[in-house]
């Protein structure tokens, strides 16, 4: 039996009054979830704008861009755009929206809790994230501009300061500080998520009855908890190299722009890579795992069938999470590592194919023979599966050191990680948004516009990223601002132009989404019933939008698994988790 | 989970109405609080503390492995002298772990005054430890080993500073437990004292590890 402390602090359960307490410094997990989603929405449009500039320059290198000094983009400006595009997308979109956004909103409700375990800490993690975004964006506006070292910020380029290029001065320092702040925010969030899931589940909500969304948020939080501390340590070491003259990552005898660096010696650039990728690879799963949860959840709901192999799905999520910590070396095959190490990392990496295949086949098994409803949420969930397979298969090529040596610095890698980590994860978010929108805002998003958005995006991202595989195989290097330098690069220029046009159209499609989102907020069809999708999990047992304490002071009790669809002998084709067995209508 | 579904349907077919107890769930709550919002269970604070310590372990393991890698790969490593005051500091910190145990025993026994005294002794020992660490820095600096002099001294300052910052957090927690008005709190002073003491012991153990790394791994 659990001991409860005295309840003197119940005051925080009262709905706050006043704009500031309610919408700005809110401690309600739902408001915080929406705040995270807004932060991610802002960031994704910033990130897309940066990519548009890059694509424009790649297609038409001689064209002038009005607001750039000098008009024509320099290679350094291109690298700055690339760095900030990657950083903002990875940290402020892919890490925040699926986990901190949707997870914050729906994890407590799906497990039957009134809020997160530590609401004030929750608020702090959001505002810390906000500060880190502001600090990073400030990098654009300091002398020298944004950093040029890529989102991985490899040393010694990132450690030497302004001497190695514009943006590597104040911009890079701000970038590192912003990232360190983000580490703190993510650690607070992860701690809150895990505690909430372990200790605040409603009666009857056993681990075997957790929706797969909760399982993925749980495992993602564990990854965050164990990975962000390492990145924080790495950021501190890098800052000391830059600001205090230490030599953790800077080797001796470097010559930069005809100047010999004498004040640093003995450091190891590979140490930075090890530390960064020990964080960086789990980070990939932090981005994609919540999407897997949403996809599993929606495929089951909209094919009116239980998830095929629930336990195998849970095992696969945990397996992917565990293996995610064992494979960081596959990002470093070209660093000159011992072939024996490379072999071990290669085998471990390919092992991830096993849980990934389990998930994919179970998704197909879930769909098999189901009464599939092709609404927008389901289309995006199916799109997720498609992109996960397309992006994942190229991972098996890159996992082999011999192939990676050739492919590593080319567009094949760009295609791979954008499909699997970027676009697939974003499809997971879209699926979640179309699905949960009526619960969050009490209105539906427009289905017709949504379907147009889906098809534009789905065809668009394949048109953008599939050709990049061929560019990579043809030897086109990544990170280059212009492809016109050599004859072998020039031959593929028409493909570069094609990708740019596809990117313009796809990003245009996102404006359609933005319109649908804003229009539906105020004028969308009202979601009158609590459970319009006839779904089973607890969020569909409460009003839309949910009240301040979610369940109106009543503690929900869970009697069923999360995916009891089309149960033989039952009148309805779904049994909500909270429905007492004697209330289930017989056929 | 097909198994669960079949079980439930069998229950329906058997016509058992009302009062079917829900299976044991994630919460071993006694259920006496229906209608009112459940307070956060006491154990959540311990879960959170353990998770926080896990994150701290990862942070320090990243630094410790960097220490080992940097020493192994570089050719410029010099043995940093270990200031003798560190031995004294270690004893101080070990003593503070003893006094915090005594303080908690007094609190459990209802001896509030004795608790307060021992709690202050612990806080004082913590501050003394931090002062001792600063003396160690000054000794090292006097020996010509500054932050950027050599990777060994860089790591010395970094590891001791990182530990010191975490210990300072522990001192803030000690002060918080001493000064907070506990009557209106979500948790009791006993719980807060227990959480703080776990953190304090952990900082003690962490220091032993770091001191061993700095001394034996020179």
Contact list in B for residue A252 (CB cut-off 8 A) is 76
Considering all CA atoms of chain B, what is the largest pairwise distance in Å, rounded to the nearest integer? 85
- From first to last of its 587 residues, chain A has per-residue pLDDT tens of 334 444 333 334 567 788 888 889 999 999 999 999 999 999 999 999 999 999 999 999 988 888 777 788 999 999 999 999 999 999 999 999 999 999 999 999 999 999 999 999 999 999 999 999 999 999 999 999 999 999 999 999 999 999 998 899 999 999 999 999 999 999 999 999 999 999 999 999 999 999 999 999 999 999 999 999 999 999 999 999 999 999 999 999 899 988 899 889 899 999 999 999 999 999 999 999 999 999 999 999 999 999 999 999 999 999 999 999 999 999 999 998 899 999 999 999 999 999 999 999 999 999 999 999 999 999 999 999 999 999 999 999 999 999 999 999 999 999 999 999 999 999 999 999 999 999 999 999 999 999 999 999 999 999 999 999 999 999 999 999 988 777 888 889 999 999 999 999 999 999 999 999 999 999 999 998 999 999 999 999 999 999 999 998 888 999 999 999 999 999 999 999 999 999 999 98
- Determine contact: B74 vs chain A, CB below 8 A: yes
Contact list in A for residue B41 (CB cut-off 8 A) is 2-4, 199-200
Distance from CA of B145 to the nearest CA of A (A): 12
3-state secondary structure (DSSP) of residue B48: helix
Which two tokens mark A564? 């009891």
CB-closest option in B42, B47, B73 to A268: B73
* Cβ within 8 Å, pair A117-B185: no
Distance from CA of A10 to the nearest CA of B (A): 8
Per residue in A43-64, pLDDT (tens digit) is 999 999 999 999 999 999 988 8
Q: Are residues A564 and A446 in the same domain?
A: no
**Do residues B146 and B134 touch, judged by C-beta distance below 8 A?**
no
Query: How far is it, in rounded angstroms, from Cα B51 to Cα B45?
Result: 10
* Cβ within 8 Å, pair B23-A206: yes
**Do residues A394 and A412 touch, judged by C-beta distance below 8 A?**
yes
**Do residues A242 and A235 touch, judged by C-beta distance below 8 A?**
no
Contact list in B for residue A117 (CB cut-off 8 A) is 40, 44, 48
Which two tokens mark A284? 């990939």
Number of C-beta neighbours around residue A300 at 10 A:
29
* Counted domains in chain A: 3
Contact list in A for residue B186 (CB cut-off 8 A) is 5, 7-9
Task: Please identify among residues 89-118 of chain B the ones whose CB lies closer than 8 Å to any CB of chain A.
Answer: none
Q: Are residues A456 and A573 in the same domain?
A: no
- Determine contact: B28 vs chain A, CB below 8 A: yes
In this structure, is the dihedral angle defined by the CA atoms of residues A472, A475, A479 and A484, taken in order, positive or negative? Answer: negative
For A578, which DSSP code?
T
Is residue B22 assigned to a domain?
Answer: no
Considering all CA atoms of chain A, what is the largest pairwise distance in Å, rounded to the nearest integer? 83
User: What is the count of residue pairs from A and B with beta carbons less than 8 Å apart?
Assistant: 239
What is the domain extent for residue B166?
A: 42-216
Q: Among candidates B96, B99, B101, which has minimal Cα distance to B126?
A: B96
Q: How confident is the model at residue B1, as a pLDDT? A: 40
Which two tokens mark A143? 């002398």
Is residue B198 assigned to a domain?
Answer: yes
Distance from CA of A583 to the nearest CA of B (A): 8
Q: Are residues A467 and A575 in the same domain?
A: no
3-state secondary structure (DSSP) of residue A246: coil
* Counted domains in chain B: 1
Q: What contacts B200, CB < 8 A, 6 or more positions away? A: B96, B97, B100, B122, B126, B170, B174
Q: What contacts A397, CB < 8 A, 6 or more positions away? A: A403, A407, A412
Q: Are residues A545 and A507 in the same domain?
A: no
For A331, which DSSP code?
G
Q: How confident is the model at residue B21, as a pLDDT? A: 40
3-state secondary structure (DSSP) of residue B31: coil
Q: Which of A1, A6, A188, A262 should be substituted to probe chain B, the one whose Cβ sees the most B Cβ atoms within 10 Å?
A: A6
Q: Are residues A233 and A131 in the same domain?
A: yes
* Cβ within 8 Å, pair A575-B8: yes
**Do residues A273 and A335 touch, judged by C-beta distance below 8 A?**
yes
pTM of the model: 0.93
- Determine contact: B161 vs chain A, CB below 8 A: no
Contact list in B for residue A4 (CB cut-off 8 A) is 33, 38-39, 41-42
Is residue B110 assigned to a domain?
Answer: yes
Q: What contacts A129, CB < 8 A, 6 or more positions away? A: A36, A39, A92, A96, A100, A182, A185, A186, A189
CATH of the domain at B187: 1.20.120.80
Q: Are residues A533 and A487 in the same domain?
A: no
CB-closest option in A111, A198, A581 to B8: A581
Q: Are residues A133 and A152 in the same domain?
A: yes
**Do residues A275 and B58 touch, judged by C-beta distance below 8 A?**
no
**Residues of chain B under the 70 pLDDT cut:** 1-38
**Do residues B151 and B107 touch, judged by C-beta distance below 8 A?**
no
Is residue B16 assigned to a domain?
Answer: no
CB-closest option in A203, A207, A229 to B58: A229
Per the listing, tokens 């530390």 go with: A275
Q: What contacts A141, CB < 8 A, 6 or more positions away? A: none
Q: Among candidates B6, B16, B41, which has minimal Cα distance to B191?
A: B41
- Determine contact: B148 vs chain A, CB below 8 A: yes
Which two tokens mark A424? 């697939």
* Cβ within 8 Å, pair B55-A225: yes
Residue A314: CA atoms inside 13 Å, Cβ hemisphere, count? 13
Query: How far is it, in rounded angstroms, from Cα A79 to Cα A151?
Result: 10
CB-closest option in A2, A196, A232 to B29: A2
Number of C-beta neighbours around residue B36 at 10 A:
13
Q: Are residues A453 and A559 in the same domain?
A: no
What is the domain extent for residue A548?
A: 526-587
**Do residues A388 and A427 touch, judged by C-beta distance below 8 A?**
no
CB-closest option in B9, B74, B158 to A567: B9
Is residue B86 assigned to a domain?
Answer: yes
């Amino acid at each position: 039996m659990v001991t409860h402390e005295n309840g003197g602090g119940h005051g925080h359960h009262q709905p706050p009054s006043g704009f500031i307490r309610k919408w700005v410094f809110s401690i309600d997990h739902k408001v915080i979830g929406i705040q995270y989603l807004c932060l991610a929405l802002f960031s994704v449009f910033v990130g897309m704008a940066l990519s548009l500039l890059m694509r424009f320059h790649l297609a038409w290198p001689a064209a002038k861009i009005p607001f750039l000094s000098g008009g024509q983009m320099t290679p350094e400006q291109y690298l700055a755009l690339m760095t900030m595009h990657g950083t903002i997308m990875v940290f402020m979109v892919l890490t925040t929206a699926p986990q901190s956004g949707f997870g914050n909103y729906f994890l407590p409700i799906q497990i039957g809790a009134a809020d997160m375990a530590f609401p004030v800490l929750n608020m702090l993690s959001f505002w810390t994230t906000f500060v880190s975004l502001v600090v990073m964006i400030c990098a654009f506006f300091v002398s020298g501009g944004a950093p040029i070292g890529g989102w991985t910020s490899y040393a010694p380029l990132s450690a030497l300061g302004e001497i190695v290029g514009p943006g590597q001065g104040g911009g890079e320092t701000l970038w590192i500080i912003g990232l360190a702040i983000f580490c703190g925010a993510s650690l607070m969030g992860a701690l809150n998520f895990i505690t909430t899931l372990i200790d605040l589940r409603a009666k009857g909500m056993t681990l075997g009855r957790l929706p797969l969304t909760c399982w993925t948020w749980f495992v993602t939080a564990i990854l965050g908890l164990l990975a962000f501390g390492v990145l924080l340590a790495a950021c501190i070491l890098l800052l000391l190299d830059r600001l205090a003259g230490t030599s953790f990552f800077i080797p001796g005898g470097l010559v930069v722009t005809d100047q010999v660096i004498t004040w640093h010696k003995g450091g190891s650039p590979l140490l930075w890579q090890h530390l960064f990728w020990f964080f960086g690879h789990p980070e990939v799963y932090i981005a994609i795992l919540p999407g897997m949860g949403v996809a599993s959840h929606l495929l089951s709901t909209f094919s009116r069938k239980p998830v095929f192999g629930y336990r195998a799905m849970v095992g696969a999520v945990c397996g992917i999470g565990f293996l995610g910590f064992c494979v960081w070396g596959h990002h470093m095959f070209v660093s000159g590592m011992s072939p024996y190490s490379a072999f071990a990392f290669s085998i471990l990496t390919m092992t991830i194919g096993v849980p990934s295949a389990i998930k994919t086949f179970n998704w197909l098994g879930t769909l098999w023979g189901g009464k599939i409803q092709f609404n927008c949420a389901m289309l995006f969930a199916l799109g997720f599966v498609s992109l996960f397979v397309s992006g994942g298969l190229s991972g098996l090529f890159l996992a082999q050191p011999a192939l990676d040596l050739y492919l590593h610095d080319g567009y094949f890698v760009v295609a791979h990680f954008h499909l699997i980590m970027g676009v697939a994860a974003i499809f997971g978010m879209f699926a979640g948004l179309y699905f949960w929108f009526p619960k969050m805002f009490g209105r539906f998003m427009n289905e017709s516009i949504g379907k147009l958005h889906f098809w534009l995006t789905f065809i668009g991202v394949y048109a953008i990223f599939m050709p990049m595989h061929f560019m990579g195989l043809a030897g086109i290097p990544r990170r280059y601002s212009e492809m016109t330098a050599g004859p072998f690069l020039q031959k593929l220029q028409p493909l570069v132009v094609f990708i740019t046009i596809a990117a313009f159209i796809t990003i245009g499609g996102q404006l359609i989404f933005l319109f649908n989102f804003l229009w539906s907020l105020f004028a969308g069809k009202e979601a009158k019933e609590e459970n319009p999708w006839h779904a089973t999990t607890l969020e569909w047992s409460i009003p839309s939008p949910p009240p301040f304490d979610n369940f109106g002071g009543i503690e929900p009790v869970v009697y069923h698994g999360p995916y009891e669809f089309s149960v033989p002998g039952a009148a309805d084709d779904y049994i909500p988790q909270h429905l007492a067995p004697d209330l289930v209508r017989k056929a | 989970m097909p198994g669960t579904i079949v079980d439930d349907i069998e229950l329906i077919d058997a016509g058992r109405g009302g009062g079917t107890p829900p299976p044991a769930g994630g919460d071993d709550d006694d259920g006496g609080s229906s209608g009112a919002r459940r307070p956060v269970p006491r154990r959540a604070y311990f879960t959170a503390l353990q998770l926080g310590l896990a994150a701290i372990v990862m942070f320090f393991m990243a630094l410790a492995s960097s220490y080992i890698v940097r020493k192994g790969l570089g050719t410029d490593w010099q043995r940093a002298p270990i200031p003798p005051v560190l031995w004294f500091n270690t004893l101080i910190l070990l003593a503070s772990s003893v006094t915090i145990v005594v303080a908690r025993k007094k609190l459990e026994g209802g001896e509030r005054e004795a608790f307060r005294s021992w709690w202050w002794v612990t806080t004082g020992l913590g501050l003394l430890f931090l002062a001792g660490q600063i003396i160690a820095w000054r000794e090292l600096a006097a020996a010509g080993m500054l932050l950027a002099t050599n990777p060994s001294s860089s790591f010395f300052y970094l590891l001791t500073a990182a530990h010191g910052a975490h210990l300072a957090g522990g001192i803030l927690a000690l002060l918080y437990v001493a000064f907070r008005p506990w009557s209106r709190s979500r948790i009791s002073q006993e719980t807060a004292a227990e959480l703080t003491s776990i953190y304090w012991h952990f900082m003690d153990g962490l220091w032993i590890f770091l001191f061993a790394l700095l001394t034996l791994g020179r």
